[in-house]
Structure 1
Amino acid sequence: MSDCLFCKILAGEVPSDVVYEDEHVLAFKDIYPQAPFHVLIIPKKHISTLNDLDVNDNELAGRLFTTAKIIAQEQGFADDGYRVQMNCGEGGGQIIFHMHLHLLAGKKFSA
């Protein structure tokens, strides 16, 4: 997607502060953090929203969550806890239409 910010990050056209990368996902620090530690975890395959996910993407969707777990462990947040969030669609608060998880940590969250 030529106009997708996250696709431009994946292509190296827009800089990012990468925290984790493998052949399927990229995780980088959010430029507008909502917690002391806030990273975005994106699939390297462009999927606009959770609603666009199909059964062929099940493994990739699971990989987003296992990546969140790996990063939380590597950064020392696994024992104290962390939040993983996904917004879907404009009404759900999604701003960038490339499916992604938010991993937030470093503070106590309320319910």
Structure 2
Amino acid sequence: MRTEDFYCDEVLSGETKVKKVLETENVLAYHHTKPFWPVHIVAIPKKHISSLITLEGFYNYLLLELLDLIKKVAARVTKENGACRVLTNLGDYQDSKHLHWHIASGDPLR
């Protein structure tokens, strides 16, 4: 069943088990449940924020914490694989309406 917010409804609720990479009190990085790249990690805030462009200024602290976690994961992926990409989707490209970033390496699997 596809939900509007997979991250709140499935991951953060514990309904879908994930393999955690790094976690703080407010943010989580884990291996994607349906990877598009050989190395595919997702980083999310634990608070619902629908997207980067809807983020309210008073949540900037959360964005900084999320970016710090992404930086650490990206450094690890780059060290292990030689390169990585970091991206977020917006608008129609964003399947789940919860701010999330992909840290990925390798050629697409599909």
Normalised TM-score (structure 1): 0.80
What are structure 2's unaligned runs of at least 5 residues?
none
User: Matched residue of 1:64: which SS?
Assistant: helix
Which residue of structure 2 aligns with residue 101 of structure 1?
A: 101
Q: Which residue of 2 aligns with 1:44?
A: 46
Which structure 1 segments of 5+ residues have no match? none
Structure 2: distance between partners of 1:59 and 1:44: 13
Identity, in percent, stands at 34
Structure with more helix by fraction: 2
TM-score normalized with structure 2 length:
0.81
Match of 2:5 in 1: 4
Q: What's 1:30 paired with?
A: 32
Deviation at 1:3, TM superposition (A): 5.8
Counterpart residue identity of residue 5, structure 2: C
Structure 1 residue runs of 4 or more that deviate by more than 6 Å after TM superposition? none
Structure of greater relative contact order (alpha carbons < 8 Å, 6+ residues apart): 2
Q: Let me know the Cα RMSD of the aligned residues.
A: 2.3
